């Protein structure tokens, strides 16, 4: 059995799609939801699916390796970043090399890096006059959005599209592909 921990900071629409995708899978299970915000709506959503939650703070995440003890308890062997905004510390990257993925709402290497998330990405795409945007699913390393790219999907955007409309098109791609790509990685690693 593969046990997944999902890291999320917000509402958790991607986390929800992933949880739903694996609900009836006999060999892959979302076992834990980790958030850096005690009030994040994603925690309630996970609870509604019967998934345990763990809230982290900056000190424990960056100054200790406490999260690894939590992961041992849940037998976590794969991590999914689904709207999690903190940089992952080196000890965690090293413990989960090629077993931690992130989704980015643009076609990397464009529009990546610190501060490039959500509406900021879509605004930058709009301001650059891009004709397409999309998603990038990549392995996580010690730097924002620089890990090896696993999968990309794109969507056309028009000059009339607002950053919010671009965001909606990109979110559709996230919901369509993220869980399937995770499943494919896990199947290929076993």
Q: How far apart are alpha carbons 23 and 91 in whole angstroms?
A: 30
Of the residues 59, 104, 122, 138, only one is catalytic, namely: 104
> What is the side-by-side strand order in the sheet with 149-156?
52-55, 28-35, 2-7, 78-81, 100-104, 132-139, 149-156
The residue written with tokens 């989704």 in the block is 103
Q: Answer yes or no: 54 catalytic.
A: no
Q: How far apart are alpha carbons 119 and 131 in whole angstroms?
A: 17
Neighbours of 10 (CB within 10 A): 18
In degrees and rounded to multiples of 5, residue 53 shows phi and psi of -125, 155
Dihedral sign for Cα atoms in the order 41, 82, 8, 19: positive
The residue written with tokens 């490039």 in the block is 116
Alpha-carbon torsion angle 25, 13, 95, 27, nearest 10:
0
Cis ω for the linkage preceding 109 (within 30 of 0):
yes
Q: Which residues are catalytic?
A: 104
């Amino acid at each position: 059995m593969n046990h997944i921990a999902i890291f999320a900071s917000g509402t958790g629409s991607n986390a929800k799609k992933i949880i739903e995708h694996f609900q009836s899978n006999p060999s892959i299970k979302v076992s834990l939801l980790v958030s850096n915000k005690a009030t994040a709506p994603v925690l309630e959503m996970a609870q509604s699916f019967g998934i345990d939650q763990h809230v982290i703070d900056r000190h424990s995440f960056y100054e200790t390796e406490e999260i690894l003890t939590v992961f041992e308890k849940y037998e976590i062997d794969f991590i999914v970043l689904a709207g999690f905004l903190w940089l992952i510390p080196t000890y965690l990257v090293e413990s989960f090399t090629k077993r931690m993925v992130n989704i980015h709402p643009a076609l990397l290497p464009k529009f990546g890096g610190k501060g490039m998330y959500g509406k900021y990405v879509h605004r930058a795409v709009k301001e650059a006059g891009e004709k397409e945007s999309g998603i990038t699913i990549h392995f996580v390393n010690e730097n924002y959005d620089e890990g090896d790219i696993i999968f990309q999907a794109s969507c056309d955007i028009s000059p009339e599209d607002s950053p919010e409309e671009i965001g909606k098109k990109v979110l559709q791609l996230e919901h369509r592909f993220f869980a399937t790509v995770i499943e494919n990685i896990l199947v290929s690693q076993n």
